[in-house]
Amino acid sequence: MKEIYKNPAYSPEERTKDLLSRMTLEEKIGQMCQIDGRENPEFWINERHIGSFLHVRGKEAQRLQDIASKTRLGIPIIFGIDAIHGHGFYSGATVFPSQLGVASSWNPDILKEMAAITAKEVILTGLHWTFSPVICLGRDARWGRVDETFGEDPYLAGILAAAMVKGYQGEKLSDPYSILACAKHYVAHGETVGGRDSTECDIAERKVRSTFLPPFKTAADAGCATFMTAYHAIDGLPCTANKVLLRDILKDEWNLSGFIVTDWDNVGHMHRLQKAAPDMKTSAELAIKAGNDMMMSTPEFYESAIELVKEGTIKEELIDEACRRILETKFRLGLFDHKRNTDFTKARSIIGCAEHKRAAFESALQSIVLLKNENGTLPVSDKVRKIAVIGPNAHDVEAQLGDWTFGPRYYPEKPMLEYNDYDITSVVTILDGIKKRAGDRVEVVYDKGCDMFDESKENIEGAVKLAQQSDMVIAVVGDTVLLNGEVRDRSSLDLTGAQQKLLEALKNTGKPLAVVLINGKPLTVPWIKDNADSIIEAWNPGMEGGNAVAAVLFGDHNPCGKITISFPRNVGQQPVYYNQYPGWHGPARYIDVDPEPLFSFGYGLSYTSYDYSNLKLSTKEIGIDGEIIVSIDVTNTGSIRGTEIVQLYINDIYSSVTTPIKELKGFSRITLNPGETKNVQIKLPVSQLSLIDRQLNRVVEPGEFEIMVGSSSRDCDLIKDIVKVV
Ligand code: NOJ
């Protein structure tokens, strides 16, 4: 019989149909398995007909693909990797700032470019799929994975995620440098109680639909090919077993054309840890019926699924459906037509090349947020002749690159990449960057001052001495990879080790104090807010972070980032996200802490200043299908050119269900010369004023809506007007 599936003249659908008709049940179920490729891969290829490996790189991926090509049907393997802010597990690859960092740019173009470069570097090393973007919302800073998110806002997260999807996947999957994106963790991961990763999420379906599904829907609309089911249970039902979420919404309502993969051993964990299935077979049954197509790292799934079909518990059509989705995706990627071969020669000249580093530098520049600047401390003045750079994060590659680089630390016996194997020469630390920029004119002295963990390893006296001999102090503090990431939730968000003591000693020298924060999440740093002259939030700024921070410190770049996650004053004040709900006693308060966050969502300063005036709405009354044009004049009232992020929030004044006091619904980045005024127009479709009603329908309820425009989510930064929907 003619092998249609081998002939590229046929469509992916026709080729899949032909291939499926040739496959045994075992071969189909093998396609539904994804296994850590470092564990007996030959067995999984030859005996289990595996569909996908993860955590394999470079030459090994090529070797395994060659073995697969010699099997009965020669079905190629999809290789997946967590390249979430650059191809961070590949030594020499371009490492961008963390997702939380780049989110502060509010710039979809830069996220798209970051993803496109990552895709290129990933593809050249023989891989086809990244488990990114992360669309969980970072609403509780205790949660270990906040650094992986775009912050706390669903609207912004959706737009930035869609930009990354387009960057990874290109125009179409068959483009030479396209890889599969994976929207994860579906859904409401990060909302688990107390920020404790992968535990229970106590929210009702209405909240899931109103707050957590919308950014995933935006990613689906952007064509995201794969989605990953989250670890946790929502209201008692593990996401992996949730048919409504997977089949009804994602597959049927949103028309997912690719496939759904579980997170790591979700199927096994449903039985072993969540105890939601009495045995592996029931767990596999729940997963298949709910709509998962590929099971990550549950080896027992293979036997369980075969048994389930043979005994008639699972219809073979369900297996066919899952397998069809996976194979069609492989055809679309061009895997059967050898379009994705590893090219190490090309890789050498492209991975980490100058152009990619420039993009990493640009994204780091735009990620940086100026949180405070008083007494003319920044930019560093011409009069400064000697700078003391102090602190544990001034010259620390791991802290600077952040999570998902080197290797997950919780898996020490099987690291993805050893520190010693990593080419750190291409990483510009904050100290390196400051030294390079300072040149011969300014002397730069450095002391680590203290350790991030071990309080006994401190040299506060030495650091203070350097500070006393200098014209200013740049203190670089924060957290590090061991304090962030999966299974690294924290009950305290204070600075660790002797960092606080170090800062207080530096303050006592009376020298101007600029603090640079290198951190994966908001930290509770009210002392820094009250005592530092300037604060720069640099997050995990990636390999070019040092150059970018130096450019901001010395005024070569006027900072324009705005934080996308609110900072609590103390850990007990959480959650402090801006889109709180109104309550009988007003938004949630405590008697012992200022109700405002330390720094609010959308906040960020510049070396210039802006004035907002003339808020106008294109209409005062509108029907539910309409679109309002919101216009405002923004003037640069300072003396240097700058970029401002103009934000549009709404509030549904009266509604059938409670709604957030503010919701971001639009933004615009504008660049203004000194003295220049620009009229900014933001389109607001009335559909953006919708809510999820008690019957779980998305509706726009007629009535009055407050429209707020300004430089941050704080009331004092917003100008307001009202529109009526009729
Ligand atoms: C578990 C993590 O939760 C997920 O984000 C990641 O993609 C997989 N492991 C694979 O490494």
Question: How far apart (Å, rounded) are the C-alpha atoms in residues 702 and 365?
Answer: 43
CA–centroid distance, residue 527 to ligand 1 (Å)? 36
> 542: which 2 tokens?
């990636």
Q: Hunting for tokens 């069609």 — which residue is that?
A: 328
Name the band, by pLDDT with cuts 50, 70 and 90, for residue 525. Answer: very high
Q: Whose CA is nearest to atom 11 of ligand 1?
A: 82
Active site residue 263: yes
pLDDT reported for residue 409: 53
Does the structure show a pLDDT above 90 at 171? yes
* Active-site hit among 263, 293, 403, 489: 263
Answer yes or no: is the C-beta of 264 below 6 A from any ligand 1 atom: yes
CA of 262 from ligand 1 middle (Å) equals 9
For atom 3 of ligand 1, which residue has the closest CA?
Answer: 263
Which ligand 1 atom sits nearest the alpha carbon of residue 231? 3
**Predicted pLDDT of residue 58:** 84
Q: Angle at which helices 12-22 and 316-333 pack, to 10 degrees?
A: 130
Q: What is the 3-state secondary structure (H, E, C) of 77-146?
A: CEEEECCCCECCCCCCCCECCCHHHHHCCCCHHHHHHHHHHHHHHHHCCCCCEECCCECCCCCCCCCCCH
Task: Please check the confidence at residue 489 and state whether its pLDDT lies above 70.
Answer: yes
Q: For residue 73, which of 31, 114, 106 has the smallest C-alpha distance?
A: 31
Which pLDDT score is estimated for 343?
Answer: 79
pLDDT value at position 347? 87
How far does the centroid of ligand 1 lie from the alpha carbon of residue 227, in Å? Answer: 12
- Per residue in 35-46, pLDDT (tens digit) is 999 989 999 999
Q: Which atom of ligand 1 is nearest to the CA of 134?
A: 5
Q: Tokens 């002391």, residue?
A: 447
pLDDT at 416: 63
- pLDDT value at position 467? 98
Q: Does 90 contact ligand 1 (Cβ within 6 A)?
A: no
Q: What is the pLDDT of residue 28?
A: 98
**Is 60 exceeded by the pLDDT of residue 55?**
yes
Does 586 score more than 80 pLDDT? Answer: no
Hey, which of 82, 265, 403 would you mutate to test ligand 1's pocket, going by the most ligand atoms within 8 Å of its Cβ? 82
When pLDDT is averaged across residues 633-643 and rounded to a whole number, the result is 98
**What is residue 422's predicted lDDT score, i.e. its pLDDT?**
75
Task: Name the pLDDT band for 417 (thresholds 50, 70, 90).
Answer: low
DSSP alpha helices (H): ranges in 124-204?
154-169
Whether pLDDT at 587 is above 80:
no
* 700-725 CB burial, b ≥16 within 10 A, e <16: bbeeebbbbbbbbbbeebbeeeebeb
Q: Is the CB of 403 under 6 A from ligand 1?
A: no
Tell the residue nearest (CA) to atom 4 of ligand 1.
263
Write down the pLDDT at residue 583. Answer: 84
How big is the chain, counted in residues? Answer: 726
- Would the CB of 263 count as within 6 Å of ligand 1? yes
- Predicted confidence band of residue 639 (pLDDT cuts 50, 70, 90): very high
Ligand 1 near 82 CB (within 6 A): yes
- Ligand 1 centroid to residue 234 C-alpha, Å: 19
State which of 38, 228, 264 you would mutate to test the pocket of ligand 1, scoring each by most atoms of that ligand within 8 A of its C-beta. 264
Distance 373 CA to ligand 1 centre (A): 39
The 3 state secondary structure assigned to 371-410 is EEECCCCCCCCCCCCEEEEECCCCCCHHHHHCCCCCCCCC
Amino acid letter, 207? K
In the prediction, which pLDDT does 420 show? Answer: 62
Task: Tell me how far apart the alpha carbons of residues 544 and 365 are, in angstroms, rounded to a whole number.
Answer: 9
Compute, in angstroms, the gap from residue 536 CA to the centroid of ligand 1.
31
The band of 413, judged by pLDDT with boundaries at 50, 70 and 90, is: low
Query: So what's the pLDDT on residue 455?
Result: 86
Cβ atoms of 32 and 51 within 8 Å: the answer is yes
The atom number, within ligand 1, closest to the CA of 80 reads 10
Average pLDDT over residues 148-173: 98
Residue nearest atom 7 of ligand 1, based on CA coordinates: 131
Residue 184 CB less than 6 A away from ligand 1: yes
Mean pLDDT, all residues of the chain: 95
How many Cβ atoms are within 10 Å of 646's Cβ, its own excluded?
A: 21
Q: Is the CB of 131 under 6 A from ligand 1?
A: yes
pLDDT of residue 130: 98
Structure confidence at residue 283 (pLDDT):
98
User: At residue 117, does pLDDT exceed 90?
Assistant: yes
User: Model confidence over 330-371: pLDDT tens digits?
Assistant: 999 999 998 776 778 888 899 999 999 999 999 999 999 999
Q: What is the distance in A from the centroid of ligand 1 to the CA of 410?
A: 12
